[in-house]
Amino acid sequence: MGQVPTGTGLMIMANDDIEAFNNTIKDNISFGALVVSYYFVDLNISKETYDPVPEKIYIHDNDMSNNSTDPQGDAAALPGLFGQSVAIMYDSSGVGTDAGLLLEFPEGLTEDQAICIVDNAPESSIGRLNLSVIFGGLAYDPGISTDPAYFNCRHASLPPIVLEPPVDPNNPEPPIDTAALCGAEGAGINTDAFVADCPNLSDYRLFADASNPMANPNGGGIIYDLNTPLFTDYANKYRFVFVPDGTQAAYRSTEVFDFPVGTIIAKTFTIQADLRDDGSAQNIIETRLLIHRKEGWVALPYIWDQGKTDALLTVTGGTQNVDWIDSNGVQQSTNYVIPNTNNCANCHGETELIPIGPKARSLNKEYAYENGTANQLDHWTAQGILLGAPSDKTSIDTIPLWNDTTASLDDRARGYLDINCAHCHQPEIGAANTSGLYLEYYRPFGTAVGECKPPVAAGAGAGDLDYDIVPGNAAASIMDFRMDSNEPGVQMPEIGRSIIHTEGVQLIRDWINAMSPVDCAAK
């Protein structure tokens, strides 16, 4: 690396997911910090598996001072880059197109890929960097924006690096001692057991009362709710997030928050005896855990025992007959389906599991905590588990409650589709990504959202109908047909419910019928 300018403090080159914090970076004559794509050194990358572009770089809370006093080498030829101590170099062509970066990132780095350089007193806080502003060595001027939100760039805390001794191929590492980890006794949350698939929910000690996963998290857990929940056979859901001490999740404007390793999200499902009476008895059915381990998220389904004293890990899932009185006073029953671990991938991601609910648009609401009512995002921030949420919550494009008629019909319907369908119906990572039907709340209405869109697979499964949505005519729309069905191969969503959500179907039906009629065949 003879091309590194003399007097460079921190350099990050062609690496992803780097966090640098609590350092003193000072008296470097060229750069305090330098983030470099290999494209800056060589435009012609010969190895296809080599990733030359640094992504998800997080440089924060460092003491950076007295840098760039006498730039050397390439640093001297690039004056004024990014203030006095930081440089981001991606492309040596001076144009940007030769390097292929535009092909890799046509819209720049996403929030999850961004270079975040913030809170490095006293010199450098340049917020989120996007490739569109740094092609060709274009200098970033901190005066480009007076909006504090521009500098509000964060990534989740990374776990500490632990240098392990080399693995002896003749003496492989022992397997995880699940019995010892899960059987450990103690007063607080059993964080050591997060690496293990414990046989009992109580082994993790997430709740002060192991038989009541609807209240009293044991330690730092925080209860939360969604503006519009995913429909699961009229079940109540109690959600808690547990973020490891001393770490924070990072806010994302549209996607699920970036949670640190060690996070557990717990969701307990109950069936209310009488939907007309919030105080009626609740039958606890299952608790699902999402645990963020170093290798990624894992999903573990726990089914509550007959005595409702604990829940048992059941990777094969199961069914339970449940009954309740509906909002009209009619007795109802169904075979409630508890997913197996493979089913979890259908909704949470087939290549890599991710949470679904914890997004800004679904969490931006008031919640009645034990010590008072507060906005959930403000509460998470005050509890120290979330960084980067905007102070102005009205700036967040927020989903309303699906049956809140004070909100617009369009917002309610789009919000309902977002939480019930968009985890599959989205590009790239969704299980239905090849359908061409994408239902995220923020996506402008049009063909991709179903307007006059022919199905990928037509025929009986689509009701022999021609278009996903025929504006002004729900009866001719595949979306209405499939949501109003319980037949295998027809019903949507495919899993997660055993009965039709008649009120939700009516919402979508009203939404389509309220649209201005369009002759799809003539489009």
> Residue 163 domain-assigned?
no
Q: Are residues 131 and 190 in the same domain?
A: no
- Total domains present in the chain: 3
Q: Are residues 68 and 146 in the same domain?
A: yes
Overall average pLDDT of the 362-385 stretch: 96
> Residue 1 domain-assigned?
no
Structure-token pair, residue 390: 């905007």
> Residue 109 domain-assigned?
yes
> Residue 166 domain-assigned?
no
Q: Are residues 212 and 287 in the same domain?
A: yes
Q: Are residues 352 and 478 in the same domain?
A: no
Q: Looking up tokens 């295998």, which residue turns up?
A: 488
Higher pLDDT, 200 or 34: 200
Cis peptide before 217 (omega within 30 of 0): no
Residues paired with 11 in a beta bridge? 34
Q: Are residues 362 and 448 in the same domain?
A: no
Q: Are residues 373 and 255 in the same domain?
A: yes
Overall average pLDDT of the 383-409 stretch: 95
Q: Are residues 185 and 139 in the same domain?
A: no
Residue pLDDT, tens place only, 202-238? 999 999 999 999 999 997 899 999 999 999 999 999 9
Q: Are residues 215 and 297 in the same domain?
A: yes
Quick one: which of 473, 463, 462 has its CA closest to 509? Answer: 473
Residue 80 has pLDDT above 60, yes or no: no
Q: Is 178 helix (H, G, I), strand (E, B) or coil?
A: helix
> Residue 3 domain-assigned?
no
Q: Are residues 388 and 413 in the same domain?
A: no
pTM equals 0.89
Residue pLDDT, tens place only, 280-307? 999 999 999 999 999 999 999 999 999 9
Q: Are residues 80 and 218 in the same domain?
A: no
CA–CA gap between residue 284 and residue 304 (Å, rounded): 7
CA–CA gap between residue 304 and residue 286 (Å, rounded): 6
**Alpha-carbon distances, residue 10 vs 15, 80, 129, 307, 428 (angstroms):** 13, 18, 18, 58, 35
Q: Are residues 229 and 288 in the same domain?
A: yes
Overall average pLDDT of the 483-501 stretch: 91
Quick one: which of 405, 302, 311, 296 has its CA closest to 352? Answer: 296
Residue 318 has pLDDT above 70, yes or no: yes
> Residue 400 domain-assigned?
no
> Residue 156 domain-assigned?
no
> Residue 171 domain-assigned?
no
CB atoms within 10 A of CB 522: 6
Quote the domain boundaries for residue 50: 8-151
Start-to-end CA distance of the chain, whole Å, equals: 59
Q: Are residues 451 and 419 in the same domain?
A: yes
Overall average pLDDT of the 507-519 stretch: 97
